[in-house]
Amino acid sequence: MDEAELVAALRVGDPTALEVLVEMHGQRLLRSATLLCGNESAAQDLVQDTFVEALRAIHRFRSKASLYTWLHSILLNLARHHYRDNQRLVFDNKLPQHEVPVLEPTPSASDLQVAAAEITAALQQLSSAHREVLVLRYYEQMKIQELALHLCVSKGTVKSRLHYAIREMQKLLPPEMNLFGPGGTKDTV
Amino acid sequence: MNCRQMRENVYEYLEGSLSRSEMNAAENHLAGCLACHELLQSEKQLAESLSNRLQQSMQTIDLDALSQGRMLQALQREFQDSQRQPYSFSWARLAFPFAIAGLTLTTVFLLGYSLLNLSRIPSRLEFSTPQRETAEANFHLSYPVTGYTFQKKGNLVVDSLTIETLVADGRVTSE
């Protein structure tokens, strides 16, 4: 079932379309939501709410952008509501402190989990605006123009937020994570 | 293209969004500017590294069968609700906008009506136009006239202010 057929099936109330929708986009939305809100359990709720909202508004979907992009814009709005409802201040000394492994080309599952925790924790320390541009640019691989449209800001604002977000991530992530170059973190931009 | 322009367009250069002419200008600049070349390499490395790291970090996050089932149940409930109450246009949705429009029109009408009916001129000049079609008007004019009177009382001269109202009646006709 291609995207146009899926949308048509959802509009007419075909029950099998629901399974296809979740199977096609559920995992990718969940991973994006986890990066945005920092918590897998909350991310699952966000994704569920995203699908419900999408079903309610499917008659308003226009094929200008892809179905996934449209679903992601719903997810982004819900995630912003989630931030506002669950704002809390996290002090540095409350963050889990554990040894961060240097990831080999084929890291183990436990190493990945630790690295994932470090990255999501660092992302949560950014403001929602800076976290969104990082996730959309480097995880969702959106181009600058797409980002600007998705976030309803100018391209200049997107670039400015990216620049700031990268600098902040450099400070927040431990040097062992080897994120920005072969020699560890460095001031690249 | 200069260094500032190159820095501003480094993201678009890497993602291939520049126009052909801009791309050529960028390539020409990079061929002769080591600093911008290093900046480009650095940004490219950062993009690859951060993308890989984010992708790797999310590898352990999966939508398992249980979560998928829960989502499907929620969607099916929503589906059934929408089937019972299908989306349909209702005139009641327009009640509020119509009410606002009606209130605005009524306010504008009342303001206009009150401005058109000017209040009476607060002066003693009164005109009464006869019902006949001849161009004729009666007038009744009253106006205050102030004056001073002086009286000698002993060695003093006392002045007094007097106000007398004079009245004139008449008729004017057109020729």
- B13 contacts in A (CB within 8 Å)? none
Mean pLDDT of B144-164: 82
| Residue in A closest to B70 by C-alpha | A48
CA A77 – CA A171 distance, rounded (Å): 28
Q: Whole-prediction pTM value? A: 0.66
Please name the helix (run of DSSP H) or strand (run of DSSP E) that holds residue B163, with its range, or none.
strand B156-173
Could you tell me what percent of chain A has a pLDDT over 70? 78
**What are the pLDDT digits (tens) for B19-31?**
999 999 999 999 9
Of A19, A144, A189, which has the smallest distance from its Cβ to B15's Cβ? A144
Given this model, what pLDDT does residue B87 score? 53
Task: State how far the Cα of A139 lies from the Cα of A28, in Å rounded to an integer.
Answer: 10
Identify the residue with better confidence: A100 or B127. Answer: B127
- Cβ-nearest to B76 among A18, A31, A144: A18
Residue holding tokens 């352990």? B60
Would the CB atoms of B51 and A139 count as touching at under 8 Å? yes
What is the β-pairing status of strands B156-173 and B136-153? antiparallel
Q: What interhelical angle do B65-84 and A40-56 show, nearest 10?
A: 30
**Nearest CA-CA partner of A118 in B54, B45, B52:** B54
B46:A51 CB<8 A: no
* pLDDT tens column, A152-187: 999 999 999 999 998 888 888 877 765 555 433 334
Specify the pLDDT at position A122: 87
**Whether the Cβ atoms of residue A50 and residue A29 lie closer than 8 Å to each other:** yes
Rounded average pLDDT over A130-146: 93
Helices A3-12 + A67-85 axis angle, to 10: 60
| Residues of A whose CB is below 8 A from B57 | 112, 115-116, 119-120
pLDDT at A78: 93
